[in-house]
Structure 1
C-alpha cells in the first residue's frame, strides 16, 4: 500500500472517531457546566463582566507578590537580617495592644449602654459611636496640638509652678508607642462597640434565667453565659481593628512610629520598589494569618439561639455604681470625641479668620469630590454584576469571584497603591500620574462596601421577578439592568455613599498615586499637620468629619 493511501486512510479514521466522540465530549462538558450552575447558567455577558471585575480587583495584589518573589536573594537576606525583625516587633506589638484595649473598652461600653440603666441610653449609643467619624490621623493631629512638644498641655503644665516643683518637668510624650497606642485605641474601639452592641440586643434572656436558677451571680452569668455568646461579635470587631492597625499609615507617620506600612511608603518614596514589595509580601502574610486565626477560633466556638422562645434581656440596675459608670463613659467620650473636635473647631476659627477658606482650599475640596465621586460611581457599576451573580447564580465560580473582589478590602492601602504603581508605571504609563489611577485604587479598596449594601437590598427581592423577566426573553444581563437594578437602587446608592465617604478619608493610596499638584483634603491635613500649620489643616479635617457622619448613620441603622 502506498504512503498516500495510508495517509488518506488515517485521515478517514480520524474523521470517523472525531464524529463519533466530539458530540459525546460536548455533551459531557455541557453537563458538567450545567451541574456547576445547578442547570441555571448566568449567560456569557454577565459572567464575563463578573470575571473581568474580579481580575481587576486581584491584579495589584498578584503583581506585588510576583514582584517580591523576584526581588533578589541579597535584598531578602538584608531585609530579613536588619529591617523585618524590627518592623515585625513594632507592628505586632502595636496591633496586639490596640486590639486588646479596644475589646475591653468596646465590650464594656456596649454592655453599659445596652444592658444597664445608665441615664441617656439612646443618646450615649450615638455619642459613643462618633469616633468612627474622626479618621485616626485627624485624631493624631488633635492630640499633637494638645500633647506635642509645644502643645497646650505643656503650656498649662509649665504655667503651674507648683506642679512643676512637685512632679518635675512635663513627661507625656505623644511621639511614642504609648501615644500611637492611645490614639488608635480611642478612634477604633467603635468597631468592637457597634458589633457587640448589636449582638447584645439579640441575646436571649432564657439563658441568663437558667444560669440564675443555678445560683450564679451577675458577674458569673456575664463570664460564663454572656461572654461566650458574644465571642463571634468580639472576634469580628477584633479582626476589623487588627486589620485597620496593620494598614494604618497616617497616624503612625504623624506620630513618628515605624511599622510595615510606613516602611513600605518610604521605600517607595526612595524608589526602592523591590524592597517595598518584599515588605508588602510580609504584611500580606500577617493579614492572612490574622484572618486564619480568627476563622479557626470561630469554628471552635459556635453558639446558636432559637427565635421561637426569644425574650428580651433584662436591664440591670447600676445602683451605687451609677456615678462611676457614668464617669467612665463620659471620660471615653471626652477623650475620643469632645476634646479632638473642640481642638479642630478652635483652630478652624483661627484659620477662617486668617483666610484659610480660599481658592486653594476649595480646590482641595473639588479634587476630593471628583476622585471620590468617580470611585463611588465605578463601585456601584462593578458591585451590581458580582452581587447579582452571587445571589441568583450561586456556584464555585461565583464564590471565587466574590472572594477576589474582597481581597483589596482586607489589605492595607499602601499595598494596593504599590500594586498600581508597578502595573501602570510599567504597562499602562498613559494612565500613570492621573486621578483615574487614584479612583481605581479606591475601587479596589472599597468595592466590598458597595457590595454589602447592595446585597442587603437584593435579598429583599424575590427570584420570581427574575424568572418572569427571563420568560419574556430577557437575557440575564438585561434582567439585572432593566428589572433588578431599578428595584434595588436605594441599596446601591447607599453603597455608593459609603464608598464616597471612605474615599474622602483615604490617605496612603492617595499619597502614593496622586498626580503632581492633585491634593485632596486628606493629603492636605497630613502635610499641613506635619508642618504644624494647624490653622490650615483644621478646616479640612473638620469638613472630613462632617461628611463622615453619613456612614455612621448607616451603621447605627444596620447594627
Structure 2
C-alpha cells in the first residue's frame, strides 16, 4: 500500500495537535491586559500627532505631504538609515563571529570593547569628529552613527552564537552541507532584531545629524516646532515617520521568519570552531583594533584634549554631583519601568502567533522612531489635560524613557524567551500549573539573563537621552546630558568636558557588563 503524505499545517504536528508555543493557544488575560497597557502607552505620541494633524485639516496635511521638500527628507532619512543599518549588521556579525567563534588573539578584550561604543553619546562623537577632521554631511553622519550603533547588532548576535547548539552544525557537516548556512539561519532573528534597533535609532537621531549639518526628518521637525508659527508640518512629518517605521517593522518580522530556535538544555561547550591562518589572524586583529580605536579611542582622545584645555579647571563639584545623581536616578527608574512593561509583550511575541501578538509587538516600536521632542510634546499634551499631577515631575520623564526605549527591552525579552524550550512550559502545564504560573516559574527564570541585559541596555541609553530630557526634566534638575549640551551649545568645550567624561564613565559600566556577558562561555 502506498504511503500517503500528510500535509503539516504551520503551528501543528502531522497528527493535527497544536505545536507548543504557537498560535493555537489563546493568549492568557494575565499577559494580554498588561501588554495592552504597554501598547497603548507606546501609541500615545501617534494620538497626539493625529490630533494636531486633524486640527489643521486635510488640505494642509496634503500640501505638506506633496511638497518636494518632504520627498527629499524621506529619501535622506531612509538612505541614512539603510546605509547605517547595512554597515552595522556587517560589522556586528563579523565582530561577533571573530570574538565568539574564532581564535582571535585577545578576543575577550575585544569582546568587551565591542560593547563600549554604547557608552559614547552620538552627539559627543559627532563633536569630536567635526572638531578634529571637519567631516560632516551624509558621510560624517554615516561614520558617527555606524560607530555608535553597531553594538546593537553585535550583542544579540554574539549571544546567539554563544548559545548555538554545535550538534546542528555537526549534523549539517555529516550530510555534506556547509556550516555557514546553519549558522546564518540561526543568527537571522538576532541580526534582524539588532538591525531593526539600528534603523529605529537612526530615524529618531537628532543630535549627531544636527551637528553634522545633515537635514533629515528629525531636524526638520525640530525646526518646525522651534519656529512656533505652525506645527502642522511637524505633526505630518511625524506621522509619516511613524508610517515608515511600521513598514520597516513589518519587513523585519517577515525577515525573522516563523521557525523556532530553542535548544533542549544548555549547548555543549567547546573550543573556537575556526582557527585563523597567520594572514587572516593579522587582518582580524587589525580590523578589531581599528574599530575599537575609532569608536571608543577617538572620542576619549577628544574629551581628554578638552579636559587638558584648562577651561574645565573651575568645574563646580556640587553641580557635577547633582547631575550624576539625577542621571542615575531617572535612568534606573526608566530601566525598571521599561523592563516591567516589556516582559508581557516580549513573552507574547515569542510564544504566540496571530494578529494580536503581531500588533502588540509592533506597536512598541512606534515611539522609538520619533524624535525625543515629539515624544516630549505628546506627553505634555496628555499630562496637562488628564494627569496634571505629573506635569513637570520626574515620573513624566521616566514614562518618556519607557516609550522611547521599549524596543530594546522587548527585543531582549523575546530573544531570551525564544531560546528557552517551550516544551518545558507544556510540562509545567501538565503538572497542574496555570499558563501564567508556568511562565513565571519556568520561562522567566530561564530568560532572566537576557531580560537583565535588556534592562542594562535601557539604563545605558536613558543616561544619554537628550531631547526629551531637555523638555521634560523638572525645573532645576539637570542631567549630565543636558549640562553637556548646554555647555557645548555655547562653545565651551572645556567646561563641557567633565560632564562628557563622567557620562561616558558611568555609561561604560553597563556597557562593560554587556560586553562581558557576550563572552560568558567563550574559552
User: For the superposition of Structure 1 and Structure 2, which TM-score range results when normalised by the shorter chain?
Assistant: 0.7 to 0.9
Give the Å deviation of 1:80.
2.6
1:194 matched to 2:168:
no
Q: Shift of the alpha carbon at 1:434?
A: 3.6
Which of 492, 497, 505 is the aligned partner of 1:533? 492
Q: How does 1:90-239 map to 2 (within 5 A)?
A: 90-147=76-133, 173-201=134-162, 202=164, 204-206=168-170, 209=173, 227=184, 230-239=187-196
Contact 1:450 1:499 in 2 (8 A): yes
CA distance in 2, matches of 1:224, 1:465: 34
Instruction: Give the structure 2 partner of residue 297 of structure 1.
Output: 255
Query: Secondary structure of the equivalent of 1:118?
Result: coil
Task: Judge conservation of contact 1:42–1:393 (CA < 8 Å) in 2.
Answer: no
Correspondence 1:260 to 2:217: yes
Among 242, 245, 251, the residue aligned to 2:208: 251
1:54-88 superposed Cα distances (whole Å, 9 cap, x missing partner) = 43332222332343344331353145314312211
Residues 67 and 223 of structure 1, relative CA distance in 2, 3 Å threshold = same
Measure the CA separation in 2 of the matches of 1:185 and 1:497: 21
> Which deviates further from its counterpart, 388-397 or 235-244?
388-397
* Aligned-residue offset at 1:360: 3.0
Q: Is the 8 A contact 2:425 2:439 kept in 1?
A: no
1:521 to 467, 472, 480: 480
Separation of aligned partners in 1, 2:353 and 2:445 = 22
- Report the Cα distance in structure 2 between the residues aligned to 1:84 and 1:542, rounded to whole angstroms: 38
Deviation of residue 548 (structure 1)?
1.9
Distance 2:429 2:254 in 1: 37
Asked if residue 436 in structure 1 is aligned to residue 422 in structure 2, the reply is no
Deviation at 1:106, TM superposition (A): 2.5
Whether 1:557 and 2:483 are equivalent positions in the alignment is no
Structure 1 residue 438: deviation in Å? 1.9
Q: 1:329 aligns with which of 274, 277, 288?
A: 288
How much does 1:304 deviate?
7.3
Q: Deviations over 1:15-72 (max 9, x none)?
A: xxxxxxxxxxxxxxxxxxxxx99799657xx976665454333222233234334433
Distance 1:89 1:295 in 2: 23
Q: Aligned-pair distance for 1:357?
A: 3.8
| Contact kept in structure 2, 1:117 and 1:318, CA below 8 Å | no
Counterparts of 2:372 and 2:517 in 1: how far apart (Å)? 27
Q: SS state of the match for residue 548, structure 1? A: helix
- Tell me, in whole angstroms, the C-alpha distance in 2 between the residues paired with 1:251 and 1:275: 22
- Structure 1 residues 450, 334: CA separation in 2 closer, same or farther (over 3 Å shift)? closer
> Could you report, residue by residue, the CA deviation over 1:338-361 in whole angstroms, capped at 9, with x for unpaired residues?
121122233235568612243333
User: Which stretch of the first structure deviates more once superposed, 334-343 or 303-312?
Assistant: 303-312
Contact preservation (8 Å) 2:312, 2:498: no
Aligned to 1:347: 306
- Please tell me whether Structure 1 or Structure 2 has the larger radius of gyration of its CA atoms: 1
1:544 aligns with 503
Q: Could you tell which deviates more after superposition, 252-261 or 379-388? A: 379-388
Alpha carbons 1:50, 1:401 under 8 Å: kept = yes
Distance 1:69 1:205, change over 3 A: same
1:280 pairs with 2:238? yes
Alpha-carbon distance change, 238 to 488 in structure 1, aligned in 2, over 3 angstroms? closer
TM-score by length of 1: 0.71
The whole-number CA distance in structure 2 between the counterparts of 1:412 and 1:346 is: 31
Q: 1:139 to 1:63 in 2, by over 3 A?
A: same
Task: Return the offset for 1:448.
Answer: 5.4
CA distance in 2, matches of 1:226, 1:416: 39
Separation in structure 1 between the aligned mates of residue 179 and residue 490 of structure 2, nearest angstrom:
48
Q: 2:47 maps to what in 1?
A: 62
Map 1:347-386; keep pairs closer than 5 Å: 347-350=306-309, 354-379=313-338, 382=341
Q: 1:324 to 1:400 in 2, by over 3 A?
A: closer
Structure 1 portions without partners, runs of 5+: 1-35, 148-172, 215-220
For structure 2, list consecutive stretches of 5 or more residues without a partner in the other structure.
1-22
Distance 1:40 1:437, change over 3 A: closer
Using the size of structure 2 for normalisation, the TM-score is 0.75
Kindly indicate whether the alpha-carbon contact (under 8 Å) linking 2:335 and 2:402 is maintained by their aligned counterparts in 1: yes
Number of residue equivalences: 484
Q: Which moved more, 1:123-132 or 1:63-72?
A: 63-72
**Residue in 2 that maps onto 1:163:** none
Pairing of 1:478-497 with structure 2 (within 5 A): 497=456
| Aligned position for 1:153 | none
Task: Assess if the C-alpha contact under 8 Å between 1:69 and 1:278 holds in 2.
Answer: no
Of the three residues 424, 445, 449, the one matched with 2:404 is 445
Query: 1:162 matched to which residue of 2?
Result: none
